Amino acid sequence: MKKIAELYRGKAKTVYSTEDSNFLILEFRNDTSAFDGQRIEQLERKGAVNNKFNYFIMTKLKDAGIPTQIERLLSDNEVLVKKLDMIPVECVVRNRAAGSLVRRLGVEEGLILIPPTFELFLKNDSLHDPMVNEYHCESFGWATNKQLNRMKELSFSINTILTKMFGNAGLILVDYKLEFGLFNGEVVLGDEFSPDGCRLWEKQTLKKMDKDRFRQGLGGVIEAYEDVAHRIGVPL
Ligand code: TMP
Ligand code: ASP
């Protein structure tokens, strides 16, 4: 399958059409952004690492019964996916307090959340991805009640699968962001799962192994992504 036209250029990925209108090609770039795109840097190898990382995780989820858009890895930086009609809302699951939750509620970073929380954010950089609730989603027509319930159900099933997988590799899955879309009316997992969109801490030392290294200027960003990839068995 070949790229035909550039449809959309996001902050870290470019989306291309293909000969088949049901499929798209995602190209993972080295661009790394933070603070709603206010800070962008090129990090060598990031595109390839995240593409392979995402393919590995999506395949694991698919094998565990989660509907995903993933089809096949095309190259170091490209993957073939089903074309989804994306729901413009980000779903965030948190097992521990970090990031915006700590800022918003003034709780201590690392606080264990029982049960894990589920939050919705509108995908809109100029508004800084504001937090929204299920009523906003329904009233503004972003998602129906039935779709929201399915998104929540899938988000928590994914938590069970991935908490175990990262846990076996000595890592804590602190939180993560998912995006869903519709394919023939069915809610399907889209976008990506990589260290750009989740928080992972080393169990023993609580060392940050995700994009917080970039956001907080800690250095060794891609080295940490590669370390996580090796631990869970992603072929790089
Ligand atoms: P937050 O603590 O900043 O709300 O982020 C929660 C999780 O969602 C964290 O793992 C990072 C991820 N995330 C994204 O992937 N993209 C975004 O635009 C935001 C705000 C968060
Ligand atoms: N992905 C978002 C951005 O670029 C937010 C983040 O990951 O911090 O700006």
Q: What is the CATH number of the domain that holds 31?
A: 3.30.200.20
Q: 33 CB under 6 A from ligand 2?
A: yes
Q: Give the pLDDT confidence score for residue 124 in this predicted structure.
A: 96
Listed in order, strand segments (DSSP E) in the chain are 6-9, 13-17, 23-28, 31-34, 39-42, 70-73, 78-82, 85-96, 112-122, 131-132, 171-183, 186-190, 198-202
Nearest to 179 by CA among 199, 208, 201, 158: 158
Q: Which ligand is the nearest neighbour of the Cα of 131? A: 1
Which ligand has the nearest atom to the CA of 199?
1
Co-location of 147 and 51 in the same domain: no
Q: Judge if the beta carbon of residue 123 lies within 6 A of ligand 2.
A: no
pLDDT of amino acid 229: 98
- Give the per-residue pLDDT at 135: 98
For ligand 1, atom 20, which residue shows the shortest CA distance? 129
Ligand 1: residues within 6 Å at CB?
A: 92, 98-101, 129, 175-177, 197-199
Please report the pLDDT score of residue 1 as a whole number: 87
The answer to whether 38 and 129 are in contact (CB under 8 A) is: no
Q: What is the pLDDT of residue 21?
A: 97
pLDDT per residue as tens, the chain (236 positions): 899 999 999 999 999 999 999 999 999 999 999 998 899 999 999 999 999 999 999 999 999 999 999 999 999 999 999 999 999 999 999 999 999 999 999 999 999 999 999 999 999 999 999 999 999 999 999 999 999 999 999 999 999 999 999 999 999 999 999 999 999 999 999 999 999 999 999 999 999 999 999 999 999 999 999 999 999 999 99
Whether residue 70 is found in the same domain as residue 96: no
Tell me, in angstroms, the distance from the centre of ligand 1 to residue 28's CA.
Answer: 18
> Same structural domain for residues 27 and 135?
no
Structure token pair of residue 220: 């060794």
Closest Cα to atom 7 of ligand 2: 34
Specify if 121 maps to a domain.
Answer: yes
Same-domain check for residues 102 and 191: yes
Task: Give me ligand 2 centre to Cα 211, in Å.
Answer: 9
53 vs 109: CA distance, rounded Å: 26
Note whether 121 and 57 are same-domain residues.
Answer: no
Q: Do 92 and 200 share a domain, yes or no?
A: yes
Q: How many domains does the chain have?
A: 2
As to burial, measured by CB atoms within 10 angstroms (0-12 exposed, 13-18 middle, 19+ buried), residue 122 is middle
Residue 226 lies in a domain: no
Regarding whether 108 and 174 lie in a shared domain, the answer is: yes
Q: How far apart are CA 38 and CA 51, in angstroms?
A: 23
- Measured in Å, residue 4 CA sits from the centre of ligand 1 at 31
Residue 224 lies in a domain: no
pTM of the predicted model as reported, rounded to 2 decimal places: 0.98
Q: Which domain holds residue 205?
A: 87-219
- Is the same domain home to 106 and 61? no
Q: Which long-range contacts (CB under 8 A, 24 or more apart) does 23-27 make?
A: 23/71, 23/80, 23/81, 23/82, 23/83, 24/80, 24/81, 24/82, 24/83, 25/1, 25/74, 25/78, 25/79, 25/80, 25/81, 26/51, 26/78, 26/79, 26/81, 26/192, 27/3, 27/77, 27/78
In a shared domain, residues 62 and 101: no
